[in-house]
Amino acid sequence: MTQGAGDLPALAARRAADRPARLVGGPAALTHLRRDPVLRRVIRQIGPCTLRPARREPYEALVRAIAHQQVHGRAAEAILGRFVALFPGHDFPPAALVLEAPAETLRACGFSGAKVAAIRDIAEKSVAGLVPSRAAAARLGDDTLIERLVQIRGVGRWTVEMLLIFTLGRRDILPIDDFGVREGWKVAAGLDAQPKPRELAAIGEAWAPWRSIAAWYLWRAADAAKASGFKPQ
């Protein structure tokens, strides 16, 4: 399913600022990406990349992603606040305790039935070890993590890509199905229409191994264009 840049990247960026971590990119990334004339203009206008991964476990990141699906950011955060309050003494509800909670209790937080089923599946697969800890994930490749995590109910490739970029800090992820990334390339390149995912994938091959940084700049370009702050030429 095609997803939009929407609330998740913006929320992850805000939370990353609250919980500082190392920058994903640096001078080497910018030197490489500036070889692309379109990205060179974007980098000049947007400025330094401030992408920092949030320091949280993949289990928590996936539950938060489910909460934000098809819901405005503020509403999702309110629902998550009620969910966290069900489990006092924990920064975030442990998977084992979530599995013990009645579905009706989780529904009362504001989750739909489908989201409750997805959250319980994330919790079950976390307890079983399919969802790795942050430390274990560091030993797994991008493709391996995508292949594993899309087995979870309600979790698609785009959700895992957001996890890889905004939680695990992987530097070479290009979410070609993301509306905002494709819109960013459209406005930056001065195109009449967004590139198709396969077209963007082909274009982005030259950006490796820094495609996450390229995606970040394209999100910012799309945002700036909406605010009339980006000039493609």
* Residue 148 and residue 178 in one domain: no
47-75 mean pLDDT: 93
Which one of the listed residues 142, 178, 192, 223 is annotated catalytic? 178
> pLDDT class for 9, splitting at 50, 70, 90?
low
Tell me whether residue 18 is one of the annotated catalytic residues. Answer: no
Q: Long-range contacts made by residues 72-81, C-beta under 8 angstroms, separation at least 24?
A: 72/7, 73/7, 73/10, 73/11, 75/110, 76/7, 77/11, 78/110, 79/109, 79/110, 79/111
> pLDDT class for 20, splitting at 50, 70, 90?
very low
User: Kindly report the CA angle at 6 between 39 and 134, in degrees rounded to 5?
Assistant: 85
Structurally, the chain folds into a number of domains equal to 2
Question: How far apart are the C-alpha atoms of 26 and 28, rounded to whole Å?
Answer: 5
Report the CATH number that the domain containing residue 106 is assigned in CATH: 1.10.340.30
For 111-171, the DSSP string reads --HHHHHHHHHHHHHHHHTSS--HHHHTTS-HHHHHHHHTTSTT--HHHHHHHHHHTS--S
- Phi and psi based region of residue 25 (left: phi greater than 0; alpha: psi -120 to 50; beta: remaining): beta
The helix-helix angle for 58-68 and 7-18 (nearest 10°) equals: 140
* Residue 140 and residue 71 in one domain: yes
pLDDT value at residue 103? 96
Would you report the helix, strand and coil content of the chain in percent, each value rounded to 5? 60, 0, 40
pLDDT in tens, 119-173: 999 999 999 999 999 999 999 999 999 999 999 999 999 999 999 999 999 999 9
Give the tokens for residue 216.
């970040």
Instruction: Return the minimum-mean-pLDDT range out of 14-18, 51-55, 119-123, 170-174.
Output: 14-18
Q: Is residue 39 part of a domain?
A: yes
pLDDT value at residue 110? 97
pLDDT value at residue 21? 52
40-45 mean pLDDT: 96
Q: Is residue 124 part of a domain?
A: yes
pLDDT in tens, 76-92: 999 999 999 999 999 99
Q: Is residue 79 part of a domain?
A: yes
> pLDDT class for 23, splitting at 50, 70, 90?
low
pLDDT value at residue 226? 84
